[in-house]
Chain A
């Protein structure tokens, strides 16, 4: 991921009377939209989808199940399309995080 594809969090806070501003990069999970702050000292490699190439969060089981290119589906208004890529989109967008939860709530995954 190039730097210009990273989001940014800026936090300005008072510290002993002085305004201190900290900035750190973020990325958005390509499958579920969770925003992840990037620590500079992390050495473990981040998860990336082998199909769409997007960085993934490490919180949602459904993100690792299959490729769900959420932005591409959003641009095409295709969350309910009959395509393997949209298979998990309804469950992810309804807040499901595990396969079991998605099945329990009636999503076909």
Chain B
């Protein structure tokens, strides 16, 4: 199925799950309700040695209210239809609430002074998101820093299954 890229461009790493650097939300039902993350890459832009430990987390609760900033996922194939899921780069308002889950799905940790971290999934080793709505829980993953606030850039490649 179609793949899309979402990017992080020179953003200061956020250390609160409630205001993550990136939040990917699958659609509640139908197209876009099941997603697979194929690749994640982060590059540090710090001007001196600065350790950063990001986590990709499946929250145990989340509410998106207020006026969050969304980012339109860009299709890798220009012929693909627009993505049916939503990416938030800034939840902004205090009415937004993300409660991080106990287990982190991926822990990208590196020195942001010129460091680059890349994770590539094996076939059938992608990170799955989505619960197809029906009130059975959250359908999001969040990327935020658990340690360090340097400036970073990066991207996700996500397949809409």
Interface residues of A (CB under 8 A from B): 4-14, 19, 26-28, 32-35, 57, 59-60, 70-71, 74-75, 77, 79-80, 89-91, 93-97, 101, 105, 107
Contacts and interface: CB of A to CB of B under 8 A. Distances in A.
Interface string B110-142: 110111111111111111111110101111000
Nearest to B111: A13
Interface centre among B104, B116, B119 (most CB of A within 10 A): B119
What 8 A-B pairs have minimum CB-CB distances, sorted nearest first?
A94-B137, A95-B101, A90-B136, A28-B125, A95-B60, A13-B115, A95-B58, A35-B106
| Interface of A, helix, strand, loop or mixed by DSSP | mixed
B128 A70 contact: yes
A6 B125 contact: yes
A4 B125 CA distance: 11
Contact of A93 (B104, B111, B123, B128): B128
Interface of B: 33-34, 36, 57-61, 101-106, 110-111, 113-132, 134, 136-139, 161
A27 B125 contact: yes
Contact of B122 (A5, A12, A96, A107): A5
B136 A97 contact: no
A93 B137 contact: yes
